[in-house]
Amino acid sequence: MTKETETLLASLNSQREHVLGILDGLPAEALRRPVLPSGWTCLGLVRHLALDVERFWFRAVVAGESVELESGDAAWQVAPDEPVETVLGLYRREIELANAVIAATPLDAGPAWWPDEFFGDPPPRDLFTVILHVITETACHAGHLDAARELTDGRTWLVLT
């Protein structure tokens, strides 16, 4: 793995740890309860990150794996009887699989697959661009989880004063 790949992966892993860390200690009821008017739940957001972000971008787009992908907002939906640890475990597993793709792929490698029928935009240029996109999306959602957690029980992840 190149130094550039290691640096990008360290940044991505920091955001992934933030997602899991801000949720640590929240009871299942709080993870399933919508906090904002839009109605998403913390657990649904983690499922979205696992399926629509990690799985889609790294396994499907970069590696060209034939993987099951959700449509619409289905990835955000968590069945009432689905255990919390199943969703968190799914995210951790997709991270492991994504990291394997990243480790095996040069940063300048173009996408192996792109769903033209869903996205009119051209595909990302290379793995480097995909990693930057995923860092940005994960960081954005980590911020959403920060707000949800603070509204739920007052806990904050990192406050610089």
Average pLDDT, the chain: 95
Radius of gyration of the chain (CA): 16
Burial class (CB within 10 angstroms; exposed 0-12, middle 13-18, buried 19+) of 119:
exposed
The superfamily in CATH containing domain 3-153 is: dinb family like domain (1.20.120.450)
Domain residue extents for the chain: 3-153
The 10s digit of each residue's pLDDT in 42-74 is 999 999 999 999 999 999 999 999 999 999 999
| pLDDT on residue 123 | 87
Q: Stretch 25-47: mean pLDDT, rounded?
A: 96
Helix (H, G, I), strand (E, B) or coil at 24: coil
Q: What is the pTM of this model?
A: 0.96
The 10s digit of each residue's pLDDT in 112-145 is 999 988 887 888 899 999 999 999 999 999 999 9
Q: Tell me how far apart the alpha carbons of residues 130 and 141 are, in angstroms, rounded to a whole number.
A: 16
The token duo for 5 is 């790949």
Give 151's DSSP letter: H
